[in-house]
Amino acid sequence: MSIDQDLVTRRWAAADRDAEAVLAEEDSLLRVSAWSRWSLGLGVLALLVVTVGFVVLIREDDDAPHLVVGLSVVGAALVVVVVRTIQGNRARGRLGMAYPTVTTVLTSRERQAVQRAVTGRTPVPADRRRVVRAAAVLRADLLRVEQPLWYATVWSALVLGAGSSDFPLGALYAVSAVLVLVGAGVVGADVFRVRRVLRAGATPEDAPGSSA
């Protein structure tokens, strides 16, 4: 075996060990907890409150109603983000170092091949399937949807709370809110697509090439 082949084998063996640790917790990682449901539901509700606030609350000399609603939503959003982040970190703590390192040991090209295989776009041999499935499980984490949803809510609430005289700042908040909300939509679509693949029984039929 050449040195290059030996390095490839070592990298994939390390990734496979971490994948085993992740797959041992697969059910708990993919479970949609009550906290996740509440977080997503409240996030959507908070965005609706902000949207209604834009329509219902008339801009006058007194911007107090906008400020009160905006700051209330921001406060609630920050509390939820902190709580869910702590919970997510505790859940991942059971995996030890496996959580961040399933594909970290691989080369950039190999990592890209794994991510393509997660959605079935790249064919791969059977000995790579555990790594691919573990990467898919981590990529299907609902926290990836929850956090940008709440960040978008925060920016939207800041737009609502901005005073009439704060147009440049309000415009900046608005642009940030739109960008984060679009990002949340893209990430959400990816998470639910990967979850659908996993529910179908899916590790993709093939996985990334051994010399990727």
Give the dihedral of Cα atoms 90, 75, 160, 54; nearest 10 deg.
Answer: 80
Cα–Cα distance for residue pair 55/58, rounded to 1 Å: 7
Alpha-carbon span 22 to 188, nearest angstrom: 21
CA dist., res. 44 & res. 149, Å (int): 8
Residue 180 sits at the vertex; the CA angle it makes with 185 and 114, to the nearest 5 degrees, is 55
Nearest CA to 58 out of 48, 45, 69 is that of: 69
Residue 203's pLDDT is 53
So what's the pLDDT on residue 93? 72
Residue 14's pLDDT is: 87
pLDDT of amino acid 104: 84
pLDDT of residue 189: 92
Q: Please, are residues 81 and 42 in contact by the beta-carbon 8 Å criterion?
A: no
- Averaged over successive runs of 10 residues, the pLDDT of the chain (212 residues) comes to 75 88 84 86 86 73 74 85 80 65 84 83 77 90 87 84 66 84 90 86 47 44
Give the integer Cα–Cα distance in Å for 205 and 76. Answer: 44
Note the pLDDT of residue 97: 55
Q: What is the pTM of this model?
A: 0.77
